[in-house]
């Protein structure tokens, strides 16, 4: 008997479950209607349009205007491991269009050694780019895309000579691969010389607190008129990410380099035609010099600008500790009244000059300082 009653008990339990389920569904539907009705009844703000203050509106305007011309640059090359196996390597950076012919300015270190260069602009148009040339000393490179029928909107280039500390700036680039990212800040310092590698530096760097991270290299630093005033190039990053100190190459330097590459096919550099090394106080005392700092001119390039002006190189080789020096030549102490204490000082001064400029060298010869005018040559 007990076993015969089990089917009937199961039917009763099933019926009870269906009743509970229907009740829950009905209650839930009613609750959902009440929630939906309540939510739809919430009033919208009187003005549903986005309200921007003047600074925000200006940021939005500049971003919309500039971002289509900012390039996300992806490079590919092949390197070899310890066992000489080919290993594909991909790099990334930023750049920006400067003319309707498709020329794009970026950093040399972004495209250095690249076998292929691909560019995606802010409007999502995609191109294969070719390498045009570079100024490795200033870490500036020029590449070019063929826009075909695609209409390019180049960024206007400003003037980096009259910037002021505190001036608001905007940076657009592709940090960590996040394309078309905008950061804002101010010019936090001017006129610094930033050594970026053994043979490269940013002369008269623009320092900014606008966030610049890996991938921003080569992107534009803009003023509030939407003009490019610099190329974002380096960061001070003890932790590997931005620390609020970034550096940009002045656009006037980049403009000169781009113009040379487009019109001449190479960068014209001013040259003096001398080789030498820095003097330190102990060496100056040993050589009985009346100056403690300067450049000991060891060799003068035959037929070069310095040689034509009568500058003298060394005549005798000696050992100073573990160094072999050629002494007996002139000591360069200043150019146009600006003190020269190291080869870097000389490089910086030549970097700011143009071939054909005439400069006044102050040299020490036979214990006396004399001025010599030299017309700079072209490297």
Percent of the chain at pLDDT > 90 equals: 56
pLDDT at 296: 93
Q: Which of 45-49, 137-141, 187-191, 224-228 has the lowest mean pLDDT?
A: 45-49
| CA-based nearest residue to 116, from 99, 91, 86 | 91
| Tokens encoding 129 | 């780019």
- For the question of residue 150 being annotated catalytic, the response is no
Beta bridge partners of residue 135, listed in sequence order: 140
**Is-contact 194 210, C-beta < 8 A?**
no
What is the tally of structural domains in the chain? 3
d(CA 3, CA 130): 88
pLDDT score of 38 more than 90: no
Cβ burial of 320 (10 Å; 0-12, 13-18, 19+) is middle
Look at strands 338-339 and 331-335 and give their pairing.
Answer: antiparallel
- Per the domain annotation, does 51 fall within a domain? no
Report yes or no: 206 and 187 within 8 Å, Cβ to Cβ: yes
From CA 95, how far away is CA 134, in angstroms rounded?
14
pLDDT at 47: 54
Tokens at 204, concatenated = 């008269």
Q: 246 and 315: one domain?
A: no
Average pLDDT over residues 121-142: 94
Both 179 and 217 in one domain: the answer is yes
For residues 344-368, give the mean pLDDT.
Answer: 91
Flag whether pLDDT at 7 surpasses 70: no
151, pLDDT greater than 70: yes
- pLDDT of 154 reads 96
Pairing assessment for the beta strands 86-97 and 70-80 based on DSSP bridges:
antiparallel
Which of 233, 263, 293 is the endpoint of a domain? 263
Question: Residue 69: how many CA atoms within 13 Å on its side-chain side?
Answer: 30
Q: Which residues pair with 330 in a beta bridge?
A: none
pLDDT at 119: 96
Residue 34 lies in a domain: no
- Residue 82: the pLDDT is 74
In a domain, 111, yes or no: yes
**Predicted TM-score of the model (pTM):** 0.76
Q: Could you tell me the pLDDT band of residue 89, with boundaries at 50, 70 and 90?
A: confident
Of 67, 94, 160, 217, catalytic: 217
Main-chain phi, psi angles of 301, to 5 degrees: -65, 125
342 tagged catalytic: no
Render 191-222 in DSSP notation, one character per residue: EEEEE-SSS-EEEEEEEE-S---TT-TT-EEE
**Structural domain boundaries, residue 98:** 64-145
Kindly report the CATH number assigned to the domain that includes residue 207.
Answer: 2.40.10.10
- Assign 241 a pLDDT band (cuts: 50, 70, 90): low
The single residue of 67, 94, 103, 109 carrying the catalytic annotation is: 109
- Checking if the pLDDT of 19 tops 60, the result is no
Mean pLDDT of 156-181: 92
- What's the whole-number mean pLDDT along residues 81-89? 76
Distance CA 34, CA 166 (A): 55
Asked whether residue 371 is domain-assigned, the answer is: yes
pLDDT of the residue at 344: 84
Residues 104-129: tens digit of each pLDDT: 999 999 999 999 999 999 999 999 99
Residue-wise pLDDT for 328-354, tens only, equals 899 999 999 999 988 888 988 888 888
Average pLDDT over residues 156-175: 94
**Pairwise pLDDT comparison (313 vs 23), residue with the higher score:** 313
Distances from the Cα of 237 to the Cα of 200, 211, 212, 245, 365, angstroms = 18, 11, 10, 8, 45
Between 177 and 353, the more confident residue is 353
User: Where does a domain end: 86, 110, 145?
Assistant: 145
Q: CATH number for the domain including 365?
A: 2.30.42.10
Are residues 127 and 173 both part of a single domain? no
Choosing from 94, 103, 135, 139, the catalytic residue is 139
Instruction: Give yes or no: residues 207 and 256 share one domain.
Output: yes
Q: Is residue 275 part of a domain?
A: yes
Is 139 labeled as catalytic in the residue annotation?
A: yes
Q: What is the mean pLDDT of the chain?
A: 85
Higher pLDDT, 37 or 298: 298
Residue 345: strand, helix, or coil: helix
């Amino acid at each position: 008997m007990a076993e015969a009653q089990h089917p009937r008990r199961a039917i009763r339990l099933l019926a009870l479950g269906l009743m509970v389920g229907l009740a829950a569904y009905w209650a839930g539907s009613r609750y959902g209607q009440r929630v939906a009705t309540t939510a739809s009844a919430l009033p919208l703000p009187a003005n549903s349009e986005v309200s921007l203050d003047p600074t925000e509106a200006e940021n939005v305007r500049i971003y919309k205007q500039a971002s289509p011309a900012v390039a996300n640059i992806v490079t590919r090359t092949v390197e070899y491991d310890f066992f000489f196996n080919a290993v594909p390597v991909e790099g990334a950076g930023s750049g920006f269009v400067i003319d309707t012919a498709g020329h794009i300015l970026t950093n040399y270190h972004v495209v250095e050694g690249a076998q292929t260069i691909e560019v995606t602009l802010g409007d999502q148009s995609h191109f294969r780019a070719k390498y045009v040339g570079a100024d490795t000393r200033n870490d500036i490179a020029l590449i070019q895309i063929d826009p075909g029928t695609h209409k390019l909107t180049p960024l206007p280039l400003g003037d980096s000579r009259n910037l002021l500390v505190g001036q608001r700036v905007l940076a657009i680039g592709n940090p960590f691969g996040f394309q078309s990212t905008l950061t804002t800040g101010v010019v936090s310092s001017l006129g610094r010389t930033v050594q970026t590698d053994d043979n490269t530096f940013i002369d008269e760097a623009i320092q900014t607190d606008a966030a610049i991270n890996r991938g921003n290299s080569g992107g534009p630093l803009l003023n509030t008129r939407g003009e490019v005033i610099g190329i974002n190039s380096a960061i001070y990053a003890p932790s590997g990410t931005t620390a609020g100190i970034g550096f940009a190459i002045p656009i006037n330097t980049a403009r000169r380099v781009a113009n040379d590459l487009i019109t001449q096919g190479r960068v014209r550099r001013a040259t003096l035609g001398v080789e030498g090394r820095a003097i330190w106080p102990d060496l100056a005392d040993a050589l009985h010099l009346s100056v403690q700092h300067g450049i000991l001119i060891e060799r003068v390039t035959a037929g070069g600008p310095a040689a034509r002006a009568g500058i003298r190189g060394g005549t005798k080789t000696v050992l100073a500790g573990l160094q072999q020096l050629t002494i007996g030549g002139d000591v360069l102490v200043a150019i146009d009244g600006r003190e020269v204490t190291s080869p870097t000082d000389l490089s910086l001064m030549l970097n700011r000059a143009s071939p054909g400029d005439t400069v006044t060298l102050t040299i020490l010869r036979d214990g006396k300082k004399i001025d010599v005018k030299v017309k700079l040559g072209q490297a």
